[in-house]
A and B are shown apart, each in its own frame.
Chain A
């Protein structure tokens, strides 16, 4: 597709990927289903490991198809623990490579960032890979008491 042409199938597909995550209760478009500026998902605080609460963590997905490499941000925030993390592939912090992972816990003044690479190449699979990493490794590792 020509640069600048939006592909509505992108967010539709990413929506399906988020809905398939066991930890995610619901997915919605922000600010509404007409503008579709980005996707936001509500995470069940009791389904993540270790469980958190009482508020529901949020996962946000911004994605733009920009050949040869998409620009995207996948951000998780747990308000109960003041924990944030995200996978970003954009022009920010390009000294870390094409994509980086960052996280910040309540005791940290600034986020820690490190370069990262993905095994997957297509948007739904990259998102799946990040969710897998998020729920399987990152949350257990960085938010355990």
Chain B
């Protein structure tokens, strides 16, 4: 066994970091027990950190009967991401990337002769070519992603209009 395989996921990550890594990447609501098992921490430890993450607005908690479930808070995540875009990129960079995204979407529309990612998905299975199908599926996924990113970048750009001269990092 190499030195490498002796190192596990838990090495060098604190319990709090593991709980956060697991809890912020679940795709559906999960119980503290589920998160504790996956993060390899005690139930009480998971509960303590999950409550803190919920207090910070990173997670939402939903209690039904005895059971509390946690999932990433979409608004909290959106605001964090928008702030990162705003602080780490100039308006010119954001605008250029926005244009690149629009151009990519125009290319998909033209290449696949469809208006939306779902229309592209609906075209699957008609060509009978598995490589082409894989590419179409991948394009539909990325298309969904870019539509979401585009809204985020537009919102980040609007922060410059709303708070002119407030940005702390290097200017454009």
Supposing A35-B101, A37-B142 touch, asked if A7 and B21 sit within 8 A by C-beta, the answer is no
**What's the count of A-B pairs with C-beta under 8 Å?**
118
The tally of residues in B whose CB lies under 8 Å from a CB in A reads 48
Chain B residue numbers with a CB within 8 Å of A37 are 142, 145-146
Expressed in whole angstroms, the minimum distance between the Cβ of B149 and any Cβ of chain A is: 6
Identify B89's interface contact among A10, A16, A33, A128, CB under 8 A.
Answer: A33
**Residue A4 is within 8 A (CB to CB) of chain B in the complex:** yes
**Chain B, Cβ-Cβ closest to A92:** B134
Supposing A1-B71, A22-B4, A92-B130 touch, asked if A34 and B94 sit within 8 A by C-beta, the answer is yes
**Chain B, Cβ-Cβ closest to A16:** B21
A66 to B145, CA, bound (A): 12
1/0 contact string of A1-14 vs chain B (CB within 8 Å):
11011111110111
Determine whether the beta carbon of A65 is less than 8 Å from that of B27: yes
Identify A122's interface contact among B26, B78, B94, B145, CB under 8 A.
Answer: B26
CB within 8 Å of B: which A81-131 residues: 90-92, 120-125, 128-129
Determine whether the beta carbon of A6 is less than 8 Å from that of B2: no
Determine whether the beta carbon of B2 is less than 8 Å from that of A13: no
Determine whether the beta carbon of A9 is less than 8 Å from that of B72: yes
1/0 contact string of B1-22 vs chain A (CB within 8 Å):
1101101010011000000011
The tally of residues in A whose CB lies under 8 Å from a CB in B reads 49
Chain B residue numbers with a CB within 8 Å of A122 are 21-22, 25-26, 38
**Chain A, Cβ-Cβ closest to B130:** A92
A37 to B94, CA, bound (A): 15
Identify B145's interface contact among A14, A64, A137, CB under 8 A.
Answer: A64
Identify A136's interface contact among B2, B26, B89, CB under 8 A.
Answer: B2
A31 to B38, CA, bound (A): 31
1/0 contact string of B69-107 vs chain A (CB within 8 Å):
001101001101100110011000110011011000000
Determine whether the beta carbon of A34 is less than 8 Å from that of B21: no
Chain B residue numbers with a CB within 8 Å of A9 are 24-25, 58, 72, 77, 80
A67 to B29, CA, bound (A): 10
Determine whether the beta carbon of B148 is less than 8 Å from that of A91: no
Identify A6's interface contact among B1, B89, B98, B148, CB under 8 A.
Answer: B148
Identify A91's interface contact among B137, B144, B145, CB under 8 A.
Answer: B137
**Chain B, Cβ-Cβ closest to A6:** B148
30 CB contacts below 8 A, A to B, read: A4-B144, A6-B145, A7-B72, A7-B74, A8-B77, A8-B80, A8-B84, A9-B25, A9-B72, A10-B25, A13-B24, A16-B21, A23-B4, A34-B85, A34-B98, A34-B153, A35-B101, A36-B145, A64-B144, A64-B145, A68-B27, A90-B134, A90-B137, A92-B130, A122-B21, A122-B26, A124-B21, A124-B22, A125-B38, A128-B9
